[in-house]
Amino acid sequence: MSKTLIVFGTRYGATHRSSEVIAKILKKKFNHEVELVKLSSETENIDFSSYDNVIVGTSVAMFSWTKRAKKFLKNDFRGKKLFVFISSAALTYAALEKGEMEKYEKHKKRFLDNVVKKKANVEPTSTAVFGGWIRKGKTEAFSLFNWKEEDAVNWAEEIGKLTG
C-alpha cells in the first residue's frame, strides 16, 4: 500500500477541491493511504518522511503561487515520487480551453515548470494544470469558473498507475 501526502495552498477553494478529488480516487481505486493537509502557519514543519508520494498543489493568482506551497516545494524530496499541480483559472487553463496551445505552454512553463525547476530538488514524476474559479466578492457570483472534476480524476488515475 502506497502512502501519499497531499499538501495544498488555496485562495478560492479550487485547489482544495482538486486535492479532495485526487485523495478520493487514490484511496478508493488504488488503495493508497492518503493524508490531506491545507498549508497554513500550523503546518510549517510537516514530517513527510514516511510517505512514498508527495503531491503539492497551489492556486496561481496575481501571477504567483501561494507562499506556503512555494516554501514547501523547497523540501528535500529525494526518495519520494513528487507530483505538482496548479489551479490557474485566468491564464494557463483559460488558454488551454481556448485551444491557444502556444499561450498555454508559455504560461505552464512560467507558472509551473519554472517554479518547480527552481524550487524542488527532484524532477517531479508528473505535473498538471487545472482550472479554477474566481469570485468578485464573498457574496457575488463567480466571475470566472472553469474547474472540471474530470481533470483531477484523470490525473489521479495517472498518479495511481505511476505509483502502483
Do 39 and 22 touch, CB atoms closer than 8 A?
A: no
Is the model's pLDDT at 157 over the cut of 90?
yes
User: Average pLDDT, stretch 76-80?
Assistant: 96
Q: Which of 120, 130, 28 is nearest to 86 (CA)?
A: 130
**Contact, 132 vs 152, CB < 8 A?**
no
Specify the pTM. 0.95
pLDDT in tens, 96-117: 999 999 999 999 999 999 999 9
- DSSP class of residue 38 equals E
Ordered by start, the domain boundaries in the chain are 3-163
Cell, residue 20? 479532495
- The CATH number given to 3-163 is 3.40.50.360
Predicted confidence (pLDDT) at residue 138 exceeds the cutoff of 70: no
Q: What's the rounded mean pLDDT across residues 90-94?
A: 91
